[in-house]
Structure 1
Amino acid sequence: MDLSKTSRTLSLILLIVLTFSGCSTAQSLEMGADQDRSLHISLSADEVVKADRLIFRININSQADTPADAYSTHKERESFLAGLLQKYDIEEEDIDYQLMRMNRQFNSRNNTETINTSQSVSVTFSDTDLYEEIQLTLIENGFDNFNGSFAYSKVEEAKKAAMKRAISKALEQAKLITEAAGTQLGNISRIVYSDYNVMPVQNMRMESASISMDTSPGMLDFEKSIVVRASVSVTYLIQ
Protein backbone atom coordinates (compact mmCIF):
# COMPACT_ATOMS: atom_id res chain seq x y z
CA MET A 1 0.00 0.00 0.00
CA ASP A 2 1.37 3.43 -0.97
CA LEU A 3 0.92 5.45 2.16
CA SER A 4 1.95 8.65 0.36
CA LYS A 5 -1.17 8.38 -1.83
CA THR A 6 -3.50 7.56 1.04
CA SER A 7 -5.41 10.43 2.62
CA ARG A 8 -4.81 10.64 6.32
CA THR A 9 -7.19 11.88 8.99
CA LEU A 10 -5.98 12.84 12.40
CA SER A 11 -8.61 13.00 15.11
CA LEU A 12 -8.26 13.45 18.78
CA ILE A 13 -11.17 13.19 21.16
CA LEU A 14 -10.75 14.30 24.71
CA LEU A 15 -13.68 13.67 27.05
CA ILE A 16 -13.65 15.00 30.54
CA VAL A 17 -16.49 14.87 33.02
CA LEU A 18 -16.18 17.13 36.00
CA THR A 19 -18.55 17.67 38.87
CA PHE A 20 -18.12 20.33 41.54
CA SER A 21 -20.28 22.45 43.81
CA GLY A 22 -22.90 24.37 41.90
CA CYS A 23 -21.66 23.24 38.51
CA SER A 24 -21.41 20.07 36.43
CA THR A 25 -19.66 19.84 33.07
CA ALA A 26 -18.98 17.56 30.14
CA GLN A 27 -16.58 18.53 27.37
CA SER A 28 -15.21 17.07 24.15
CA LEU A 29 -12.38 18.37 21.98
CA GLU A 30 -12.48 17.32 18.32
CA MET A 31 -9.73 18.06 15.80
CA GLY A 32 -9.64 16.66 12.28
CA ALA A 33 -7.84 17.41 9.03
CA ASP A 34 -11.08 17.30 7.04
CA GLN A 35 -13.36 19.10 9.49
CA ASP A 36 -13.46 22.23 11.58
CA ARG A 37 -11.74 21.80 14.90
CA SER A 38 -14.07 22.48 17.79
CA LEU A 39 -14.55 22.15 21.53
CA HIS A 40 -17.98 21.21 22.90
CA ILE A 41 -18.89 21.96 26.51
CA SER A 42 -22.14 21.10 28.27
CA LEU A 43 -22.45 22.64 31.70
CA SER A 44 -24.94 23.46 34.47
CA ALA A 45 -24.63 26.10 37.19
CA ASP A 46 -26.84 26.94 40.17
CA GLU A 47 -28.00 30.15 41.74
CA VAL A 48 -29.14 29.58 45.33
CA VAL A 49 -31.58 32.15 46.70
CA LYS A 50 -33.58 32.47 49.89
CA ALA A 51 -37.25 31.60 49.47
CA ASP A 52 -39.47 34.62 50.17
CA ARG A 53 -42.88 33.28 49.13
CA LEU A 54 -45.24 30.47 50.11
CA ILE A 55 -47.69 29.11 47.55
CA PHE A 56 -50.70 27.57 49.30
CA ARG A 57 -52.85 25.28 47.12
CA ILE A 58 -56.35 24.54 48.38
CA ASN A 59 -58.75 22.04 46.87
CA ILE A 60 -62.43 22.76 47.46
CA ASN A 61 -64.44 19.57 47.18
CA SER A 62 -67.82 18.13 48.05
CA GLN A 63 -69.70 14.87 47.71
CA ALA A 64 -73.44 14.24 47.64
CA ASP A 65 -76.11 11.99 46.19
CA THR A 66 -77.44 14.57 43.74
CA PRO A 67 -75.79 17.26 41.58
CA ALA A 68 -77.86 19.96 43.32
CA ASP A 69 -76.71 18.95 46.79
CA ALA A 70 -73.07 18.61 45.71
CA TYR A 71 -73.21 22.03 44.05
CA SER A 72 -74.80 23.65 47.09
CA THR A 73 -72.17 22.27 49.48
CA HIS A 74 -69.39 23.25 47.12
CA LYS A 75 -70.64 26.84 46.82
CA GLU A 76 -70.84 27.13 50.60
CA ARG A 77 -67.19 26.12 50.95
CA GLU A 78 -66.13 28.33 48.05
CA SER A 79 -67.93 31.28 49.66
CA PHE A 80 -66.24 30.60 52.99
CA LEU A 81 -62.79 30.52 51.41
CA ALA A 82 -63.42 33.71 49.42
CA GLY A 83 -64.58 35.47 52.57
CA LEU A 84 -61.53 34.26 54.47
CA LEU A 85 -59.15 35.61 51.83
CA GLN A 86 -60.99 38.93 51.82
CA LYS A 87 -60.79 39.07 55.61
CA TYR A 88 -57.01 38.86 55.46
CA ASP A 89 -56.78 41.38 52.59
CA ILE A 90 -55.18 38.96 50.15
CA GLU A 91 -54.53 40.80 46.89
CA GLU A 92 -56.28 39.53 43.77
CA GLU A 93 -52.93 39.22 41.99
CA ASP A 94 -51.89 36.69 44.65
CA ILE A 95 -54.93 34.47 44.06
CA ASP A 96 -55.25 31.99 41.21
CA TYR A 97 -58.09 29.51 40.74
CA GLN A 98 -59.73 27.02 38.41
CA LEU A 99 -63.44 26.68 37.77
CA MET A 100 -65.43 24.02 39.61
CA ARG A 101 -65.48 20.52 38.16
CA MET A 102 -68.27 18.00 38.77
CA ASN A 103 -68.30 14.29 38.02
CA ARG A 104 -70.45 11.26 38.72
CA GLN A 105 -68.83 8.28 40.47
CA PHE A 106 -70.43 4.82 40.46
CA ASN A 107 -69.76 2.30 43.24
CA SER A 108 -70.25 -1.23 41.90
CA ARG A 109 -70.01 -2.83 45.35
CA ASN A 110 -73.26 -1.40 46.64
CA ASN A 111 -74.68 -0.29 43.30
CA THR A 112 -74.80 3.38 44.26
CA GLU A 113 -73.47 6.56 42.76
CA THR A 114 -72.25 9.87 44.16
CA ILE A 115 -71.64 13.30 42.72
CA ASN A 116 -68.21 14.81 43.38
CA THR A 117 -67.02 18.36 42.87
CA SER A 118 -63.52 19.85 42.99
CA GLN A 119 -61.92 23.24 42.47
CA SER A 120 -58.27 24.25 42.80
CA VAL A 121 -57.29 27.58 44.39
CA SER A 122 -53.72 28.79 44.95
CA VAL A 123 -52.72 31.69 47.17
CA THR A 124 -49.27 33.29 47.40
CA PHE A 125 -48.04 34.51 50.81
CA SER A 126 -44.98 36.32 52.04
CA ASP A 127 -46.12 36.14 55.67
CA THR A 128 -45.66 32.65 57.12
CA ASP A 129 -47.70 33.52 60.22
CA LEU A 130 -50.66 34.41 58.02
CA TYR A 131 -50.22 31.16 56.09
CA GLU A 132 -50.43 29.08 59.25
CA GLU A 133 -53.39 31.04 60.59
CA ILE A 134 -55.41 30.56 57.41
CA GLN A 135 -54.43 26.91 57.27
CA LEU A 136 -55.70 26.31 60.80
CA THR A 137 -58.97 28.13 60.05
CA LEU A 138 -59.55 25.94 57.00
CA ILE A 139 -58.99 22.76 59.02
CA GLU A 140 -61.48 23.94 61.64
CA ASN A 141 -64.07 24.43 58.89
CA GLY A 142 -63.87 21.08 57.15
CA PHE A 143 -61.15 21.66 54.53
CA ASP A 144 -58.86 18.64 54.35
CA ASN A 145 -57.17 18.80 50.95
CA PHE A 146 -54.37 21.36 50.60
CA ASN A 147 -50.59 21.65 50.27
CA GLY A 148 -47.89 24.31 50.11
CA SER A 149 -44.55 24.97 48.44
CA PHE A 150 -41.79 27.57 48.60
CA ALA A 151 -41.05 30.09 45.87
CA TYR A 152 -38.90 33.12 45.08
CA SER A 153 -40.31 36.45 43.90
CA LYS A 154 -37.36 37.41 41.66
CA VAL A 155 -36.81 34.10 39.94
CA GLU A 156 -36.10 35.73 36.55
CA GLU A 157 -33.16 37.60 38.05
CA ALA A 158 -31.90 34.36 39.56
CA LYS A 159 -32.16 32.64 36.17
CA LYS A 160 -30.03 35.36 34.57
CA ALA A 161 -27.42 35.08 37.34
CA ALA A 162 -27.28 31.30 36.93
CA MET A 163 -26.93 31.67 33.16
CA LYS A 164 -24.04 34.12 33.49
CA ARG A 165 -22.34 31.74 35.92
CA ALA A 166 -22.79 28.79 33.57
CA ILE A 167 -21.36 30.68 30.58
CA SER A 168 -18.45 31.95 32.67
CA LYS A 169 -17.69 28.41 33.86
CA ALA A 170 -17.90 27.13 30.30
CA LEU A 171 -15.29 29.66 29.17
CA GLU A 172 -13.08 28.80 32.13
CA GLN A 173 -13.21 25.10 31.30
CA ALA A 174 -12.61 25.77 27.60
CA LYS A 175 -9.44 27.71 28.34
CA LEU A 176 -8.20 24.99 30.71
CA ILE A 177 -8.77 22.22 28.15
CA THR A 178 -7.22 24.01 25.19
CA GLU A 179 -4.17 25.01 27.20
CA ALA A 180 -3.69 21.41 28.36
CA ALA A 181 -4.14 20.17 24.77
CA GLY A 182 -1.65 22.69 23.39
CA THR A 183 -4.20 24.48 21.22
CA GLN A 184 -5.67 27.98 21.13
CA LEU A 185 -9.29 28.80 21.92
CA GLY A 186 -11.25 30.60 19.19
CA ASN A 187 -14.69 32.19 18.99
CA ILE A 188 -18.02 30.62 19.92
CA SER A 189 -19.67 28.98 16.92
CA ARG A 190 -22.84 27.74 18.66
CA ILE A 191 -24.53 28.07 22.05
CA VAL A 192 -27.71 26.49 23.40
CA TYR A 193 -29.12 27.21 26.84
CA SER A 194 -32.04 26.43 29.09
CA ASP A 195 -33.09 27.32 32.63
CA TYR A 196 -35.42 25.76 35.13
CA ASN A 197 -36.20 25.62 38.83
CA VAL A 198 -35.08 22.83 41.08
CA MET A 199 -36.82 21.64 44.22
CA PRO A 200 -36.14 23.80 47.28
CA VAL A 201 -33.30 22.73 49.53
CA GLN A 202 -33.38 22.78 53.32
CA ASN A 203 -30.82 24.90 55.10
CA MET A 204 -30.37 23.32 58.50
CA ARG A 205 -30.06 26.64 60.29
CA MET A 206 -32.74 27.92 62.63
CA GLU A 207 -33.56 31.61 62.81
CA SER A 208 -33.74 31.90 66.59
CA ALA A 209 -34.96 35.48 66.39
CA SER A 210 -38.10 34.35 64.58
CA ILE A 211 -39.20 32.08 67.45
CA SER A 212 -40.95 33.78 70.32
CA MET A 213 -40.86 32.40 73.83
CA ASP A 214 -44.57 31.53 73.83
CA THR A 215 -44.63 29.82 70.40
CA SER A 216 -43.61 26.24 69.73
CA PRO A 217 -40.97 25.87 67.03
CA GLY A 218 -42.03 24.49 63.66
CA MET A 219 -40.49 23.64 60.30
CA LEU A 220 -41.22 27.14 59.01
CA ASP A 221 -38.67 28.43 61.54
CA PHE A 222 -35.99 26.98 59.27
CA GLU A 223 -34.74 29.04 56.38
CA LYS A 224 -35.59 27.65 52.96
CA SER A 225 -33.59 28.09 49.79
CA ILE A 226 -34.57 27.78 46.15
CA VAL A 227 -32.08 26.47 43.61
CA VAL A 228 -32.38 27.93 40.12
CA ARG A 229 -30.32 25.99 37.59
CA ALA A 230 -29.16 27.08 34.14
CA SER A 231 -27.67 24.73 31.55
CA VAL A 232 -25.60 25.66 28.52
CA SER A 233 -24.04 23.79 25.63
CA VAL A 234 -21.29 25.82 24.00
CA THR A 235 -19.21 25.03 20.91
CA TYR A 236 -15.89 26.89 20.56
CA LEU A 237 -13.72 26.93 17.49
CA ILE A 238 -10.15 25.73 17.98
CA GLN A 239 -7.44 27.74 16.21
Structure 2
Amino acid sequence: MKKLNRYISFLTILFLFVLMLPLHSSAQYMQISVSGTGEVEAEADLLLFNVTITQFHGSPKTAFDRHKEQESFLTRLLISENIAEENIYTNPVNISPMRRQQDGSGYETRQNVTIRIDDVAQFEAMQITLIENGFVNFSGNFTSSMQKEAADEALALAVEDAKMKAEILAKASGKEIIDIITIEYGTRSEVSPRSATAMYVMEAADSSLLQFRQTITVRERVNVVFTAN
Protein backbone atom coordinates (compact mmCIF):
# COMPACT_ATOMS: atom_id res chain seq x y z
CA MET A 1 0.00 0.00 0.00
CA LYS A 2 2.86 2.35 0.88
CA LYS A 3 4.53 1.55 -2.43
CA LEU A 4 1.30 2.34 -4.25
CA ASN A 5 0.96 5.67 -2.43
CA ARG A 6 4.57 6.58 -3.25
CA TYR A 7 3.96 5.66 -6.89
CA ILE A 8 0.83 7.82 -7.04
CA SER A 9 2.68 10.71 -5.39
CA PHE A 10 5.49 10.38 -7.92
CA LEU A 11 3.03 10.46 -10.84
CA THR A 12 1.31 13.51 -9.35
CA ILE A 13 4.58 15.40 -9.00
CA LEU A 14 5.62 14.41 -12.53
CA PHE A 15 2.27 15.55 -13.90
CA LEU A 16 2.53 18.93 -12.17
CA PHE A 17 6.09 19.34 -13.43
CA VAL A 18 5.00 18.73 -17.02
CA LEU A 19 2.18 21.25 -16.65
CA MET A 20 4.57 23.89 -15.36
CA LEU A 21 7.07 23.49 -18.22
CA PRO A 22 5.17 25.76 -20.69
CA LEU A 23 4.74 28.37 -17.96
CA HIS A 24 8.44 28.26 -17.21
CA SER A 25 9.29 28.43 -20.91
CA SER A 26 6.94 31.35 -21.58
CA ALA A 27 8.38 33.21 -18.61
CA GLN A 28 11.92 32.67 -19.90
CA TYR A 29 11.43 33.46 -23.60
CA MET A 30 9.67 36.29 -25.40
CA GLN A 31 8.61 36.71 -29.03
CA ILE A 32 9.47 39.72 -31.16
CA SER A 33 7.56 40.23 -34.42
CA VAL A 34 8.98 42.73 -36.91
CA SER A 35 8.75 43.57 -40.61
CA GLY A 36 11.78 44.07 -42.83
CA THR A 37 12.25 45.84 -46.16
CA GLY A 38 14.99 45.46 -48.73
CA GLU A 39 15.59 47.68 -51.77
CA VAL A 40 17.96 47.20 -54.69
CA GLU A 41 18.42 49.39 -57.76
CA ALA A 42 18.83 47.60 -61.08
CA GLU A 43 19.85 49.14 -64.37
CA ALA A 44 16.82 49.70 -66.60
CA ASP A 45 18.19 48.23 -69.82
CA LEU A 46 14.84 47.27 -71.39
CA LEU A 47 11.64 49.03 -72.42
CA LEU A 48 8.16 47.53 -72.34
CA PHE A 49 6.19 49.18 -75.15
CA ASN A 50 2.45 48.73 -74.55
CA VAL A 51 0.12 49.19 -77.54
CA THR A 52 -3.67 48.97 -77.34
CA ILE A 53 -5.48 48.40 -80.63
CA THR A 54 -9.06 49.62 -80.40
CA GLN A 55 -11.82 50.49 -82.86
CA PHE A 56 -15.41 51.68 -82.40
CA HIS A 57 -18.27 51.51 -84.91
CA GLY A 58 -22.01 51.01 -85.02
CA SER A 59 -21.50 47.82 -87.02
CA PRO A 60 -19.60 44.99 -85.26
CA LYS A 61 -18.24 43.75 -88.61
CA THR A 62 -16.89 47.18 -89.54
CA ALA A 63 -15.30 47.62 -86.11
CA PHE A 64 -13.70 44.18 -86.37
CA ASP A 65 -12.46 44.69 -89.96
CA ARG A 66 -10.86 48.03 -89.06
CA HIS A 67 -9.29 46.43 -86.03
CA LYS A 68 -7.76 43.68 -88.19
CA GLU A 69 -6.32 46.32 -90.51
CA GLN A 70 -4.47 47.97 -87.61
CA GLU A 71 -3.41 44.59 -86.26
CA SER A 72 -1.93 43.68 -89.67
CA PHE A 73 -0.09 47.00 -89.86
CA LEU A 74 1.40 46.52 -86.38
CA THR A 75 2.47 42.98 -87.30
CA ARG A 76 4.27 44.24 -90.42
CA LEU A 77 5.91 47.03 -88.42
CA LEU A 78 7.26 44.62 -85.80
CA ILE A 79 8.65 42.34 -88.51
CA SER A 80 10.32 45.27 -90.29
CA GLU A 81 11.83 46.42 -86.97
CA ASN A 82 13.28 42.91 -86.43
CA ILE A 83 11.47 42.45 -83.11
CA ALA A 84 11.98 38.82 -82.05
CA GLU A 85 8.83 36.76 -81.59
CA GLU A 86 9.73 35.95 -77.97
CA ASN A 87 9.69 39.71 -77.22
CA ILE A 88 6.06 40.14 -78.34
CA TYR A 89 3.19 39.40 -75.95
CA THR A 90 -0.42 39.72 -77.05
CA ASN A 91 -3.94 38.55 -76.27
CA PRO A 92 -6.96 37.81 -78.52
CA VAL A 93 -9.25 40.51 -79.87
CA ASN A 94 -12.19 41.39 -77.61
CA ILE A 95 -15.34 42.96 -79.07
CA SER A 96 -18.28 44.12 -76.98
CA PRO A 97 -21.30 46.46 -77.14
CA MET A 98 -20.46 49.95 -75.97
CA ARG A 99 -22.27 53.25 -75.59
CA ARG A 100 -20.25 56.44 -75.90
CA GLN A 101 -21.54 59.85 -74.95
CA GLN A 102 -20.48 61.45 -78.25
CA ASP A 103 -20.74 58.48 -80.63
CA GLY A 104 -23.83 56.74 -79.26
CA SER A 105 -24.25 52.97 -79.21
CA GLY A 106 -21.92 50.68 -81.09
CA TYR A 107 -19.26 48.02 -80.75
CA GLU A 108 -15.73 48.43 -79.45
CA THR A 109 -12.76 46.18 -80.10
CA ARG A 110 -9.73 45.97 -77.81
CA GLN A 111 -6.45 44.09 -77.98
CA ASN A 112 -3.33 44.66 -75.86
CA VAL A 113 0.15 44.09 -77.23
CA THR A 114 3.37 44.37 -75.20
CA ILE A 115 6.71 44.64 -77.00
CA ARG A 116 10.06 44.35 -75.23
CA ILE A 117 12.84 46.39 -76.83
CA ASP A 118 16.31 47.55 -75.77
CA ASP A 119 16.76 50.62 -77.99
CA VAL A 120 15.25 53.97 -76.99
CA ALA A 121 15.75 55.41 -80.48
CA GLN A 122 13.76 52.51 -81.92
CA PHE A 123 11.04 53.09 -79.33
CA GLU A 124 10.73 56.78 -80.25
CA ALA A 125 10.66 56.09 -84.01
CA MET A 126 7.98 53.41 -83.62
CA GLN A 127 5.76 55.82 -81.68
CA ILE A 128 5.85 58.33 -84.52
CA THR A 129 5.03 55.63 -87.08
CA LEU A 130 2.08 54.42 -85.02
CA ILE A 131 0.67 57.94 -84.59
CA GLU A 132 0.94 58.53 -88.34
CA ASN A 133 -1.11 55.38 -88.93
CA GLY A 134 -4.00 55.99 -86.56
CA PHE A 135 -2.75 54.46 -83.30
CA VAL A 136 -3.51 56.66 -80.29
CA ASN A 137 -3.26 54.39 -77.25
CA PHE A 138 0.25 53.29 -76.26
CA SER A 139 2.86 53.83 -73.54
CA GLY A 140 6.36 52.77 -72.50
CA ASN A 141 7.83 51.63 -69.19
CA PHE A 142 11.36 50.77 -68.17
CA THR A 143 12.26 47.32 -66.87
CA SER A 144 15.46 45.37 -66.29
CA SER A 145 16.93 42.10 -67.51
CA MET A 146 18.42 41.74 -64.00
CA GLN A 147 15.12 42.10 -62.13
CA LYS A 148 15.13 38.55 -60.72
CA GLU A 149 18.68 38.89 -59.38
CA ALA A 150 17.76 42.26 -57.87
CA ALA A 151 14.67 40.73 -56.22
CA ASP A 152 16.76 37.93 -54.66
CA GLU A 153 19.23 40.47 -53.26
CA ALA A 154 16.41 42.68 -51.95
CA LEU A 155 14.82 39.69 -50.22
CA ALA A 156 18.05 38.88 -48.37
CA LEU A 157 18.33 42.55 -47.34
CA ALA A 158 14.74 42.47 -46.06
CA VAL A 159 15.56 39.57 -43.71
CA GLU A 160 18.69 41.40 -42.50
CA ASP A 161 16.61 44.52 -41.91
CA ALA A 162 14.11 42.55 -39.82
CA LYS A 163 16.93 40.98 -37.80
CA MET A 164 18.52 44.38 -37.11
CA LYS A 165 15.20 45.80 -35.88
CA ALA A 166 14.59 42.75 -33.67
CA GLU A 167 18.06 43.07 -32.12
CA ILE A 168 17.40 46.74 -31.29
CA LEU A 169 14.08 45.86 -29.66
CA ALA A 170 15.59 42.94 -27.75
CA LYS A 171 18.51 45.03 -26.47
CA ALA A 172 16.14 47.78 -25.33
CA SER A 173 14.23 45.10 -23.38
CA GLY A 174 17.36 43.63 -21.81
CA LYS A 175 17.12 40.50 -23.96
CA GLU A 176 19.07 38.78 -26.73
CA ILE A 177 17.79 37.26 -29.97
CA ILE A 178 17.89 33.45 -29.86
CA ASP A 179 16.27 32.15 -33.03
CA ILE A 180 13.74 32.72 -35.82
CA ILE A 181 10.32 31.12 -35.40
CA THR A 182 8.62 32.06 -38.68
CA ILE A 183 9.18 34.14 -41.81
CA GLU A 184 6.17 35.34 -43.81
CA TYR A 185 6.81 36.43 -47.38
CA GLY A 186 4.57 37.33 -50.29
CA THR A 187 5.93 36.37 -53.71
CA ARG A 188 5.18 39.68 -55.40
CA SER A 189 8.02 42.19 -55.76
CA GLU A 190 7.38 45.93 -55.92
CA VAL A 191 9.10 47.60 -58.86
CA SER A 192 9.26 51.34 -59.44
CA PRO A 193 11.31 53.36 -61.95
CA ARG A 194 13.91 55.84 -60.81
CA SER A 195 16.03 58.18 -62.90
CA ALA A 196 19.66 58.89 -62.06
CA THR A 197 21.88 61.38 -63.89
CA ALA A 198 25.02 61.90 -65.92
CA MET A 199 25.38 58.46 -67.52
CA TYR A 200 23.97 56.85 -70.65
CA VAL A 201 22.20 53.54 -70.37
CA MET A 202 21.14 53.31 -74.03
CA GLU A 203 21.60 55.27 -77.23
CA ALA A 204 19.01 58.06 -77.35
CA ALA A 205 18.36 61.15 -79.41
CA ASP A 206 20.18 64.36 -78.43
CA SER A 207 18.36 66.58 -75.93
CA SER A 208 16.14 63.67 -74.83
CA LEU A 209 15.49 63.02 -71.15
CA LEU A 210 15.91 59.33 -71.97
CA GLN A 211 19.64 59.90 -72.46
CA PHE A 212 20.10 59.88 -68.69
CA ARG A 213 20.82 56.64 -66.90
CA GLN A 214 17.60 54.93 -65.84
CA THR A 215 17.18 52.50 -62.97
CA ILE A 216 14.32 50.60 -61.39
CA THR A 217 13.97 50.00 -57.67
CA VAL A 218 13.05 46.45 -56.68
CA ARG A 219 11.52 46.23 -53.20
CA GLU A 220 10.83 43.14 -51.06
CA ARG A 221 9.09 42.86 -47.67
CA VAL A 222 9.05 40.10 -45.03
CA ASN A 223 7.49 39.59 -41.59
CA VAL A 224 9.70 37.70 -39.14
CA VAL A 225 9.01 36.38 -35.62
CA PHE A 226 12.06 35.95 -33.36
CA THR A 227 12.53 34.44 -29.91
CA ALA A 228 14.59 36.26 -27.29
CA ASN A 229 15.62 35.70 -23.68
Q: What TM-score comes out, normalization by structure 1 length?
A: 0.76
Aligned partner of 1:115 in structure 2 is 107
**How far apart, in 2, do the equivalents of 1:39 and 1:153 lie?**
37
CA drift of 1:184 comes to: 2.3
Q: How does 1:48-127 map to 2 (within 5 A)?
A: 48-106=41-99, 113-127=105-119
CA drift of 1:117 comes to: 1.5
**How far apart, in 2, do the equivalents of 1:70 and 1:161 lie?**
48
Q: What TM-score comes out, normalization by structure 2 length?
A: 0.79
Matched, 1:39 2:32: yes
List per-residue Cα deviations over 1:154-208 (Å, max 9, x = no partner).
22211110011111222233333333432222111111123512321222x1437
**How far apart, in 2, do the equivalents of 1:95 and 1:146 lie?**
15
**How far apart, in 1, do the equivalents of 2:82 and 2:203 lie?**
25
> Once superposed, what is the RMSD of the aligned Cα atoms?
2.5
- Give the secondary structure class of the aligned counterpart of 1:48: strand
The count of residues paired between Structure 1 and Structure 2 equals 204
- Any stretches of 5+ residues in structure 2 without a counterpart? 1-24
**Computing the radius of gyration over CA atoms, which structure comes out larger, 1 or 2?**
2
86 and 210 in structure 1: CA distance in 2 versus 1, 3 angstrom threshold: closer
Write the letter of the residue equivalent to 1:69.
T
CA drift of 1:107 comes to: 5.8
List per-residue Cα deviations over 1:36-75 (Å, max 9, x = no partner).
4112221212111121111111111222332222222111
Instruction: Name whichever structure is richer in helix by fraction.
Output: 2
Matched, 1:189 2:164: no
**How far apart, in 2, do the equivalents of 1:209 and 1:49 lie?**
12
- Give the secondary structure class of the aligned counterpart of 1:85: helix
**How far apart, in 1, do the equivalents of 2:203 and 2:45 lie?**
17
Aligned partner of 1:138 in structure 2 is 130
Aligned partner of 1:220 in structure 2 is 210
**How far apart, in 1, do the equivalents of 2:185 and 2:54 lie?**
41
Aligned partner of 2:152 in structure 1 is 160
- Any stretches of 5+ residues in structure 1 without a counterpart? 1-30
- Give the secondary structure class of the aligned counterpart of 2:83: coil
**How far apart, in 2, do the equivalents of 1:109 and 1:143 lie?**
20
Cα contact 2:51–2:139 (8 A) shared by 1: yes
Instruction: Name whichever structure is richer in strand by fraction.
Output: 1
71 and 231 in structure 1: CA distance in 2 versus 1, 3 angstrom threshold: same
Cα contact 1:211–1:217 (8 A) shared by 2: no
CA drift of 1:223 comes to: 2.0
**How far apart, in 2, do the equivalents of 1:129 and 1:169 lie?**
40
237 and 46 in structure 1: CA distance in 2 versus 1, 3 angstrom threshold: same
